[in-house]
Structure 1
Amino acid sequence: MVCLGNICRSPLAEGILRSKLPYEDFVVDSAGTSGYHIGDPPDRRSVEVARKYGLNISHLSGRQFSNRDFDEFDFIYVMDQSNFENVNKLARSKEDLEKVKMILNEIYPNQNHDVPDPYYGGTQGFENVYKMLDEACSIIANKLT
């Protein structure tokens, strides 16, 4: 799961998808395309909305996406077009490029909708993002299990 800073959308997506998959069979992680928040915990509003739905993401910490992630993961879900472009710039092969997907294409195939960045908005923005990601992650989990 990849967003810009790895403190709002991608840690939410990580926590949501982890909750829907058997822990022993899947590795779910998140990262940011920027290095602004390396080592930082998720935004308190992401933590709060996750907690509202029974998830604890407070222990997660920000890290930056690297081309090694192409080796570690079968799927790389990005939150918006900018993330998509930044991740694809790090791809080393056609196989790497095929791993990168816009997460909301799981709900709206081939429409390339962005998950809005809730950072500068109020708590309702985090609630809206949670619901979008929950729906997308349910589809992903159903495909994988």
Structure 2
Amino acid sequence: MDKTKILFVCLGNICRSPSAEAAMKALVKSKGIDELFEIDSAGITGYHAGEPADQRMQRHALNRHISLTSISRQVKSPRDFEYFDYIIGMDDQNMDDLFQLCPNDSSAKKLSKMTEYCTHHSNTSVPDPYYGGAAGFELVLDILEDACAGLLNTIHQNE
């Protein structure tokens, strides 16, 4: 059976998208289905390529037993668009950028925004916590955990 391949995308790949990657990995592992998934994250820009996730984001995630271990990388077009089944942006600007990078209409059908999968939060985007305080990092994790659960339900419904 082919793995379901998911790519989470934000601007720099040091806060939101690596957190989404780690939250989704933790969720599927807790359900004993991690072998059915390949989960990654990337940034629209390569500003932080090769760097680990933001230390503040790592600390907040660890408090929830979510470990951010990925190393930042930039989205690769067309490779990522061909390879991944789901490509998920964190906000409207990420979505606009992803549509600009998208090589064809078939790949565009793989794009969605993270908050589309939320069942408890009404946020229209995952806000960037980089310039804020602790509450911003916690809000991001709240939204991502909600959206990851919704995404998993959507994947199961689409199978």
- Across the aligned residues of Structure 1 and Structure 2, the Cα RMSD in angstroms comes to 1.5
User: Where does structure 2 lack aligned partners over 5 or more consecutive residues?
Assistant: 1-7
Q: Distance in 1 between matches of 2:71 and 2:135?
A: 23
Alignment partner of 1:30: what SS?
strand
Which residue number corresponds to residue 39 of structure 1?
A: 50
Which residue number corresponds to residue 2 of structure 1?
A: 9
Which residue number corresponds to residue 66 of structure 1?
A: 76
Q: Distance in 1 between matches of 2:103 and 2:143?
A: 30
What is the 5 A alignment of 1:18-29?
18-21=25-28, 22-29=33-40
Contact 1:105/1:112 (8 A) holds in 2: no
Which residue number corresponds to residue 106 of structure 1?
A: 117
Superposed CA offset, 1:90-141 (max 9, x none): 1111111111101101127xx9812110000001100000000100001111
Which residue number corresponds to residue 21 of structure 2?
A: 14
Which amino acid in structure 2 is aligned with residue 27 of structure 1?
E
Higher strand share: 2
Which residue number corresponds to residue 83 of structure 1?
A: 94
Q: Distance in 1 between matches of 2:109 and 2:20?
A: 20
Question: TM-score, normalised to structure 1's length?
Answer: 0.93
Select the residue among 41, 47, 66 that pairs with 1:55. 66
Alignment partner of 1:119: what SS?
coil
List, as ranges, runs of 4+ consecutive aligned residues in structure 1 with deviation greater than 3 Å.
none
Aligned-residue sequence identity (percent) comes to 39
Which residue number corresponds to residue 146 of structure 2?
A: 135
